[in-house]
């Protein structure tokens, strides 16, 4: 049985971790470096740092904040937002990221996925797919989920893997911030069609939602944010529930971290 991962997401805007609903109504929570370090102490398997306004503002990723965050972590760090070129990816990896996630740039220039995989290895290349329900399927969203594309999310996922993506981060924009549960139908449909790890994102509200994403949704990992940021749950309590449900996860630390 494969070990499943619990990944903590830090949405960063203006150098602060923020949280909202459907990517709007954002409120500041703390610095990414301090929060990432605290979640590592709690037992997070990985951290995802998303510079959510970089694509909208057409600027590079906040590399100073990435360096500060990476310097305080021993667990893998994925960084996304503002990645538009191979050089951007190289700079982000040099700043300390282990993997780089791309969304808008991948849609606009799919060849970037292949070029990145060839230069840095597929294990470094994560394609982030923001999907919104549309008729009988899901449409890909870009620019911080503000722009809708004509692309079917599942077909796009398959194409990304064919181009060289080593992992997919699939976010349901309909569920993001609602705490109503992951869109397991979306996650399962993608997972059944690709041969790389799929991370379920958007909608975590209870420990059972994580179980559903990993079982019904067949995800390889779950991304969690708001329910940890506000203290409703800890990484340790979520992992304990997964273990009780018979899902193999890495042991969480007993020391709960705090952030500032």
State the catalytic residues: 11, 130
Strands 167-172 and 5-13, bridge-based pairing? unpaired
What are phi and psi for residue 45, nearest 5 degrees? Answer: -80, -35
Judged by DSSP in three states, 7 sits in: strand
C-alpha Rg value of the chain to the nearest Å: 17
Query: Six-digit token pair at 256?
Result: 């709960």
What are phi and psi for residue 192, nearest 5 degrees? Answer: -70, -15
The answer to whether the beta carbons of residues 142 and 104 sit under 8 Å apart is yes
Q: Is 122 left (phi over 0), alpha (psi -120 to 50) or beta?
A: alpha
Query: Six-digit token pair at 120?
Result: 């840095």
What are the b/e assignments for 2-27, b being 16+ CB within 10 Å? eebbbbbbbbbbeebbbbeeebeebe
Judged by DSSP in three states, 260 sits in: coil
Strands 16-21 and 5-13, bridge-based pairing? antiparallel
- In three state form, how does the secondary structure of 87-154 look? HHHHHHHHCCCCEEEECHHHHHCCHHHHHHHHHHCHHHEEEEEEEEEECCEEEEEECCCCEEEEEEHH
């Amino acid at each position: 049985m494969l070990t499943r991962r619990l990944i903590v997401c830090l949405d960063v805007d203006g150098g602060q971790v923020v949280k909202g609903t459907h990517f709007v109504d954002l409120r500041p929570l703390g610095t990414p470096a301090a929060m990432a370090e605290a979640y590592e102490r709690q037992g997070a398997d990985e951290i995802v740092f998303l510079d959510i306004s970089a694509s909208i503002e057409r600027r590079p990723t906040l590399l100073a904040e990435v360096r500060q965050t990476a310097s305080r972590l021993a667990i893998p760090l994925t960084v996304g937002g503002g990645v538009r070129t191979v050089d951007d990816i190289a700079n982000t990896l040099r700043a300390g990221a282990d993997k780089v996630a791309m969304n808008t740039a991948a849609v606009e220039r799919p060849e970037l996925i292949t070029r990145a995989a060839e230069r840095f290895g597929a294990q470094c290349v994560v394609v982030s797919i923001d999907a919104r329900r549309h008729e009988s399927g899901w449409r890909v969203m870009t620019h911080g989920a503000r722009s809708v594309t004509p692309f079917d999310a599942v077909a796009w996922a398959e194409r990304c893997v064919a181009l060289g993506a080593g992992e997919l981060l699939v976010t349901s924009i309909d569920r993001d911030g609602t705490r109503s549960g992951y869109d397991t139908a979306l996650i399962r449909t993608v997972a059944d069609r690709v041969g790389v790890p799929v991370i379920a994102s958007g909608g975590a509200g209870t420990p059972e939602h994580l179980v559903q994403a990993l079982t019904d949704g067949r995800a390889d990992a779950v991304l969690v944010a708001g329910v940890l940021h506000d203290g409703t749950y800890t990484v340790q309590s979520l992992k304990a529930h997964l273990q009780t449900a018979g899902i193999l996860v890495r042991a969480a630390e007993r020391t709960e971290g705090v952030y500032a």
